[in-house]
Amino acid sequence: MPETHLVTGAAGFIGFHLANRLLKEGHRVIGFDSVTEYYDPVLKRRRLEILGKQEGFDFVEEALETPGALDALFSHVRPAMVWHLAAQAGVRYSLEAPESYLQSNITGTFRLLEAARAHPPRHLMLASTSSVYGANGKMPYAETDRADWQMSFYAATKKATEAMAHSYAHLYGLPTTMFRFFTVYGTWGRPDMAYFKFAERIMAGRPIDIYNHGDMSRDFTYVDDLVEGLIRLGGAVPPAPGARGAPIPGDSLSPVAPWRVVNIGNSAPVKLMDFVAALERALGRKAKYNFVGMQPGDVPATWADASLLEALVGALPRTPLEVGLRHFAEWYLMEYHKPEPVA
């Protein structure tokens, strides 16, 4: 049955894909985004243009942290589902502008939680990140593993939002699912992400920086697979204490609140140099390499244990890396690539 869904960060990479999927399923979608200049706002406007051409989409351009903005919106539209994807993203940028993370990720999420407390949705879905696992060396990462040693301020703010949301779920009975993303890639992506930067430099004939001298791996997750996981997970509302059946092995369900955290990843880490080779094939160009050391705040590897996700929603599609990068390359070359002028 069609419902009203609020998607914060609707002009962003994942928010755009999620909103697009919800619209195609016949839901009304309220997009909320401040359209910052952290990366190319023209790209964000183009995403919004695509969403705006579809029936059922409305957009509010405002910052999360603006006092009263979210509360007024919640009271007006009363969303059945809330998908909180808006955030100041990026590990490396958090070294340069940490206060923007404090405002958007902490204060902004607080404003959202307050609005949800006053006007409770059926299910509150909040984005976290695999970066919260930080210095935990156990692989693959499971939701019940310790996540206490964040390596960047970005990761620290996202871990804080998990704790904040848990407290609201406990105090006000808000059914809440936190989802930890693992290196999402695909069409209409973010220019600040490594694969996007690689594509730009490869096509321009400039060397790409290979961190930790190539000794890195990531659990790359294609955006369409991620959105499918989110849609299914939206239907898996965490039950309140006292209303639970048989426990699910490895569940992160809180003992005192209708709250859980779930990994969304491909469960198949790929070595960085293998990823670059696949991107080269997709673009039809060879890269020039500049091998450098590890960046502050970064981790050498990520690997999701997705068994809880599959226990909750069933087996998910896993787009092969070659296929996902081919889709990205086709979009990038047709829609975004700007050839440098010949001198």
Active site residues: 154
Interatomic CA distance for residues 181 and 183, integer angstroms: 6
Q: How far is CA 170 from the centre of its chain?
A: 24
- Which amino acid is it at 193? M
Peptide bond into 317 cis (omega under 30): no
- Coil, strand, or helix at residue 316? coil
Helix, strand, or coil (residue 161): helix
Contact between residue 7 and residue 58 where contact means Cβ atoms under 8 Å apart: no
216 close to 272: Cβ distance less than 8 angstroms: yes
What is the 8-class DSSP label of residue 95? H
Q: 61 - beta bridge partners?
A: 33
Separation of alpha carbons 131 and 150, rounded Å: 7
